[in-house]
Amino acid sequence: SQQGEEDPQALSIQEGENATMNCSYKTSINNLQWYRQNSGRGLVHLILIRSNEREKHSGRLRVTLDTSKKSSSLLITASRAADTASYFCAPGSSNTGKLIFGQGTTLQVKP
Protein backbone atom coordinates (compact mmCIF):
# COMPACT_ATOMS: atom_id res chain seq x y z
CA SER A 1 0.00 0.00 0.00
CA GLN A 2 1.02 3.64 -0.18
CA GLN A 3 0.92 3.92 3.59
CA GLY A 4 4.11 4.93 5.29
CA GLU A 5 5.31 2.69 8.08
CA GLU A 6 7.35 4.46 10.73
CA ASP A 7 10.02 2.85 12.83
CA PRO A 8 10.56 2.77 15.75
CA GLN A 9 7.07 3.15 17.20
CA ALA A 10 8.50 4.91 20.24
CA LEU A 11 11.79 6.64 20.96
CA SER A 12 13.06 8.19 24.19
CA ILE A 13 16.23 10.29 24.28
CA GLN A 14 17.93 12.95 26.38
CA GLU A 15 17.88 16.60 25.44
CA GLY A 16 20.78 17.42 23.16
CA GLU A 17 20.92 13.97 21.56
CA ASN A 18 19.98 13.26 17.98
CA ALA A 19 16.78 11.41 17.06
CA THR A 20 16.40 9.30 13.94
CA MET A 21 13.10 8.00 12.65
CA ASN A 22 12.61 5.79 9.63
CA CYS A 23 9.82 5.38 7.16
CA SER A 24 9.19 2.63 4.62
CA TYR A 25 6.57 2.48 1.88
CA LYS A 26 5.64 0.11 -0.93
CA THR A 27 4.51 2.02 -4.02
CA SER A 28 6.05 4.63 -6.28
CA ILE A 29 5.78 8.19 -5.05
CA ASN A 30 6.04 11.77 -6.26
CA ASN A 31 7.08 13.06 -2.87
CA LEU A 32 7.24 12.12 0.77
CA GLN A 33 6.22 14.41 3.59
CA TRP A 34 6.95 14.44 7.29
CA TYR A 35 4.54 15.85 9.84
CA ARG A 36 4.69 16.46 13.59
CA GLN A 37 1.77 16.25 15.98
CA ASN A 38 1.83 17.51 19.52
CA SER A 39 -0.47 15.66 21.84
CA GLY A 40 -4.08 15.78 20.66
CA ARG A 41 -3.57 18.67 18.26
CA GLY A 42 -3.40 19.19 14.52
CA LEU A 43 -0.47 18.06 12.42
CA VAL A 44 2.27 20.46 11.43
CA HIS A 45 4.04 20.04 8.12
CA LEU A 46 7.81 19.71 8.61
CA ILE A 47 9.33 18.98 5.26
CA LEU A 48 8.54 17.67 1.78
CA ILE A 49 11.11 15.81 -0.25
CA ARG A 50 10.50 15.07 -3.91
CA SER A 51 11.22 11.73 -5.50
CA ASN A 52 14.17 13.15 -7.44
CA GLU A 53 15.81 14.51 -4.27
CA ARG A 54 18.04 12.47 -1.99
CA GLU A 55 18.48 14.78 0.97
CA LYS A 56 16.86 17.92 2.31
CA HIS A 57 17.56 20.14 5.29
CA SER A 58 15.40 22.48 7.29
CA GLY A 59 16.93 23.95 10.43
CA ARG A 60 17.71 21.04 12.76
CA LEU A 61 15.89 18.59 10.50
CA ARG A 62 17.51 16.42 7.88
CA VAL A 63 15.47 14.13 5.66
CA THR A 64 16.84 11.52 3.32
CA LEU A 65 15.01 9.57 0.66
CA ASP A 66 16.10 6.36 -1.01
CA THR A 67 13.57 5.49 -3.68
CA SER A 68 15.39 2.27 -4.58
CA LYS A 69 14.81 1.01 -1.05
CA LYS A 70 11.48 2.81 -0.71
CA SER A 71 12.58 4.35 2.54
CA SER A 72 13.12 7.71 4.17
CA SER A 73 14.62 8.91 7.40
CA LEU A 74 14.10 11.98 9.54
CA LEU A 75 16.98 13.16 11.71
CA ILE A 76 16.43 15.76 14.41
CA THR A 77 19.73 17.09 15.68
CA ALA A 78 20.38 18.57 19.12
CA SER A 79 16.90 17.64 20.29
CA ARG A 80 14.93 19.78 22.72
CA ALA A 81 12.13 18.97 25.13
CA ALA A 82 9.82 20.86 22.77
CA ASP A 83 10.50 18.25 20.09
CA THR A 84 8.47 15.77 22.14
CA ALA A 85 5.66 14.78 19.76
CA SER A 86 4.49 12.12 17.33
CA TYR A 87 6.09 12.14 13.91
CA PHE A 88 4.39 10.81 10.79
CA CYS A 89 5.63 10.19 7.30
CA ALA A 90 3.20 10.38 4.39
CA PRO A 91 4.17 9.16 0.93
CA GLY A 92 2.41 11.18 -1.77
CA SER A 93 1.46 9.78 -5.13
CA SER A 94 -0.35 11.45 -8.01
CA ASN A 95 -1.85 8.03 -8.73
CA THR A 96 -4.01 8.38 -5.66
CA GLY A 97 -3.87 12.11 -4.99
CA LYS A 98 -3.99 11.64 -1.25
CA LEU A 99 -1.74 11.16 1.76
CA ILE A 100 -1.88 7.96 3.76
CA PHE A 101 -0.39 8.18 7.24
CA GLY A 102 1.11 5.38 9.28
CA GLN A 103 0.89 5.06 13.04
CA GLY A 104 3.83 7.35 13.62
CA THR A 105 6.84 7.45 15.88
CA THR A 106 6.29 8.86 19.34
CA LEU A 107 9.37 10.80 20.41
CA GLN A 108 10.01 11.75 24.01
CA VAL A 109 12.88 14.13 24.72
CA LYS A 110 13.78 14.22 28.39
CA PRO A 111 15.16 17.47 29.81
The sign of the torsion formed by the CA atoms of 103, 79, 17, 77 equals positive
Rank residues 78 and 82 by Cβ distance to other proteins and give the closer one.
82
Rank residues 75 and 100 by Cβ distance to other proteins and give the closer one.
100
Rank residues 24 and 31 by Cβ distance to other proteins and give the closer one.
31
Interface residues toward other proteins, by CB under 8 A: 30-31, 33, 35, 40-45, 48, 88, 90, 92-94, 96-104
Q: Shortest distance, CB of residue 72 to other proteins, whole angstroms?
A: 15
Mind spelling out the 3-state secondary structure of 36-75?
EECCCCCEEEEEEEECCCCEEEECCEEEEEECCCCEEEEE
Q: Shortest distance, CB of residue 7 to other proteins, whole angstroms?
A: 13
Rank residues 40 and 111 by Cβ distance to other proteins and give the closer one.
40
CA dihedral of 80, 17, 15, 9, whole degrees rounded to 10: 80
Cα 88 to chain centroid distance, Å, stands at 5
Q: Shortest distance, CB of residue 94 to other proteins, whole angstroms?
A: 5
Q: Shortest distance, CB of residue 17 to other proteins, whole angstroms?
A: 25
